[in-house]
Structure 1
Amino acid sequence: MKSLLKLHTLTFVGLAVAANLGLQVYLAFGEVKPWAQINWMDVIGEGGSGLIWLVWLVMLMRSRPAGRVSRLLAVGMACVCFSWWMDVLDEFIRLAPDAVWDNWLETAPMPVGLLLVTFGIYHLHKEQQAINAQMSKREGLFREHLLFDKLTPLGGAQYLRQHVQLALEQAERAQQPLSLVVLDIDDFSAVNLVHGEAEGDHLLQMLAQLLVLNLRQQDVLCRLAGDRFVVVMPNTGETQARWLAQELQQAVAGFAYKTLRHGERLQLRASVAAAMAYDDDVESLLRRVNLGIAKARRQAPQRGAA
């Protein structure tokens, strides 16, 4: 990260030059007061306030990147610092009674600086709101990330249950049907046994992509467990869900997956089941589709290992 001086050189150099010029002007047109005539209460009050403001300016610039908000705050605070500096000089240097320009040097920078600081704080507030919104999204994504399957870019079992619950509530409010489709890869354990678990994991990743490509935009695919996938289909009756389930089954059967090591094609087959929600809760609906997939697997013709 760039240093403080590199980021805000102009602000601090400008303030230092302005303060020095103000001192030179006072010395050129006035005379230094005797020690006994100095009002030390005003010196402490005005000088202390200006010093604290300067410390705030340094702290702000150390924590802020260069940009519009930083410039507004820096220039505004520098104007206020300069105004207090001129007030302090007035306690040490006496000017002619007819000099009026010193009042302008003392008072004019103060409202200008406070106005710039006000604009800076306003934009800082807007900036912070945007950051808070972004952080809230990132925090939400982080929490949601914990619900996703580690192998495939799909929601896991817990995410599925939460999504089905929301989908059930939405379907009830909109008076629309909601269906679930379950797809289970037949003899998937043979892939792990013959070709190894690494090949099986890669196959599941490719299957996840294949299934997503064969879904509608409103459908949500999750990995329930192992080689079992569940599709949540809003505004879909059971008949239409069965058609879509058969399309997914055909997509798996036509999947030209070739192994990583030998490049041989694996002949895949899947069992599917569909169920439409009636008066179900999440668990009863998932139980019905799982019973359906178990029935479909019993009825599926047996074949050799892949």
Structure 2
Amino acid sequence: MTALSTVPALFKLHRLKFAGLLLIANLALLAHLWLGDSLPVSQWSWTDIAGEGGSALLVLVWIGLLLRGRPAGQVTTLLFLGLACLFFSLWIDTLDEVVELPFGTRWDKWLESGPMPVGFILMTLGIYHWHREQLAITAQMEKRERLFREYRLFDSLTPLCGAEYLRLQLQQALAQARDDRQPLSLAMLDIDDFSALNRAYGHAEGDRVLQAVSQLLVLNLRRQDLLCRLAGDRFVVLMPNTGEQQARVLATELREAVCHLAHRSSEHGERLPLSASVAVVMAQHDDPQTLLERLNLALARARQPVQARRA
């Protein structure tokens, strides 16, 4: 799927948000026209209309750009609600310039002034969480470019490193752990029934799921952890200075994050149910290949209940 084809698909996921905002704006217009009287054009303040109406239009453009460029999630919702409040306040302010309500009417002042501070608060929260997203993604990008810059070491689909990079880093991490006498753990995460998802929704949708899951996992890792895509729908997290018990807690959190991911299909916008199996091993006297083999065996045991339910 190309970047250009992704843009309308993202906006399609948010069309109900945009339609709901336009509906509320039109209801406000109808309420003003029903309860008030239209001012003659000679009494219009064109400066105020241009300033307030133009600002409302610009905020609406910002909302469109936001919804075209971001997937569904907490950050997108906060930014949308904040901008929607700003737009609504400016829209009500513009209506007051062309429609005169009966003397003593107060509800329009509440609608004009109330949403504005709420919008700024929501936008501040959204920008804060967006900033944290960018810091986490930047840290992961710096980590993957620190030692290796050859394209062959990076996964072609996700912004992660591949299996070869993992083995190289694992070899160094094992030596470092032995020298420092510190624990080293590995966690493996595998998406349940991923082949069924590919058959039901197509491989392009499966690729979108892998991209979304990889970004989600990056945002839930600590700074010292390294996330790589081992193969297919299987991810491995290298956890330096981490014992097995702590690694199991972190792996469980990653699994829960995948289960709660609100990923929606690009075609119809329905939410795709996702779940994952995880396994954890702590390095002992292993070489990289032996450690990965132990991790694969642990994952196979962890997947047995899932496979039994499927049967």
Amino acid at match of 2:225: D
Give RMSD over aligned pairs: 2.0
The equivalent position to 2:301 in structure 1, one of 269, 272, 295, is 295
Q: Distance in 2 between matches of 1:263 and 1:281?
A: 45
The CA deviation at 1:218 is 0.3
Q: Distance in 2 between matches of 1:141 and 1:159?
A: 8
Q: 1:167 to 1:301 in 2, by over 3 A?
A: same
Q: TM-score, normalised by structure 1?
A: 0.52
1:210 match: 216
Q: For 1:61-115, what per-residue CA distance to the aligned partner results, in whole angstroms no more than 9, with x for missing partners?
A: xxxxxxxxxxxxxxxxxxxxxxxxxxxxxxxxxxxxxxxxxxxxxxxxxxxxxxx
Q: Distance in 2 between matches of 1:302 and 1:222?
A: 28
The CA deviation at 1:139 is 12
The equivalent position to 2:204 in structure 1, one of 198, 204, 215, is 198
Amino acid at match of 2:152: L
Amino acid at match of 1:254: H
Amino acid at match of 2:167: R
Q: Distance in 2 between matches of 1:303 and 1:263?
A: 28
* Aligned ranges 1:30-41 → 2 under 5 Å: none
Larger Rg: 1
1:226 match: 232
1:249 match: 255
Q: 1:303 to 1:193 in 2, by over 3 A?
A: farther
Gaps of 5+ in 1: 1-137
Q: Distance in 2 between matches of 1:163 and 1:202?
A: 27
The equivalent position to 1:283 in structure 2, one of 289, 292, 307, is 289
Q: Distance in 2 between matches of 1:225 and 1:196?
A: 18
The answer as to 2:174 corresponding to 1:168 is yes
The answer as to 2:261 corresponding to 1:260 is no
Q: 1:263 to 1:178 in 2, by over 3 A?
A: same
1:5 match: none
The CA deviation at 1:229 is 0.2
Q: SS state of the match for residue 153, structure 2?
A: coil
Q: 1:303 to 1:209 in 2, by over 3 A?
A: farther
Q: TM-score, normalised by structure 2?
A: 0.52
1:157 match: 163
The answer as to 2:276 corresponding to 1:274 is no
Q: SS state of the match for residue 146, structure 1?
A: helix
The answer as to 2:190 corresponding to 1:188 is no
* Aligned ranges 1:81-100 → 2 under 5 Å: none
Aligned residue-pair number: 167
Give the fraction of aligned pairs with identical amino acids, expressed as a percent.
59
Q: Distance in 2 between matches of 1:140 and 1:240?
A: 27
Q: SS state of the match for residue 255, structure 1?
A: coil
* Aligned ranges 1:74-153 → 2 under 5 Å: 141-143=148-150, 145-153=151-159
